[in-house]
Every structure is written in C-alpha cells, then in structure tokens.
Amino acid sequence: MNVDTVSITIPDRDQFIPLLRLVLGGIAMRKNVCFDDLDDVQLAVDDLLANRVPNGGQISMVVRVGGASLDIIVEARVDEDLCRRLKTPPGSAGEDPETAVLDTCRLLRSLMDDYEVQDLPSGRFSIRMTKECR
C-alpha cells in the first residue's frame, strides 16, 4: 500500500491555524476523500486546537494517507485536563458531564475511528487521530 505523508509546522498563533485546515482540504481533494469525512477531520482538529495552551511555540501536524485511511498527528501544548480525559475510557468514573473538555472528548470519539494521546517533553502532547474514509 502506498502511503503519502504531509507535514506542516506553524507558529502557535491564531492567525496560522487556518493553514492546517487548508492542508487537510488539499490532501482530501487529491485523495478523493468525501466531504463528510473531511468535515469530521477538520472539526476534530479545530476543536482540539481550540483547547490548546498558546505558548509562543509551534504546532505540528503530520497527515498520512494510505488507502482509505487518514492518520493525523497533531503536536501542540494542549490543556492537560483535556489530555487526561482523552486517556480516560468512555463511561468511566473519571468523566464529568459538566465540563467543556468532555465535549471535546465526545466529539473526537464520535468523529474519529481511533485516537491516542502521548505525553511529550515541555508540557506538549501528541494526539494521533485516525479516520477510515468511505
């Protein structure tokens, strides 16, 4: 199977976030990803980055496309509570239905087929999300 990989690193500032959406859209168009799947991926990335902790550093995104699968890895400084909740299995005692962070957790669980959170140095996190496209 042929896997194409695209990487982008941007400054951690709001005015650069739309570049990530543009990259996702361009990849989706070239790989014939349906609009609904593209919308799911863009919404997941947008919502995840809405919970970032801007620190003047950088945000990195790697997109791998192989067959009907999109694998997106976002590295940024993200709210620690969000990362802790993303690591908590759905329906466990650690969930608090009153938090906005929980909305992000539910969103990723419903839009993406899989995701994984890894701790990185300096308070950064890597969130890998997978979408199986129709």
- CATH number of 3-132, picked from 3.40.50.1000, 3.30.565.10, 3.40.50.720, 3.40.640.10: 3.30.565.10
Residues in the chain where the model's pLDDT stays below 50: none
Q: Phi, psi (5° rounding) for residue 56?
A: 75, 5
Domain extent listing, the chain = 3-132
* pTM, rounded to two decimals: 0.84
Give residue 121's pLDDT: 83
Q: What is the pLDDT of residues 38-67, one digit of tens each?
A: 999 999 999 889 888 888 889 999 999 988
* Positive/negative CA dihedral, 114, 66, 75, 12: negative
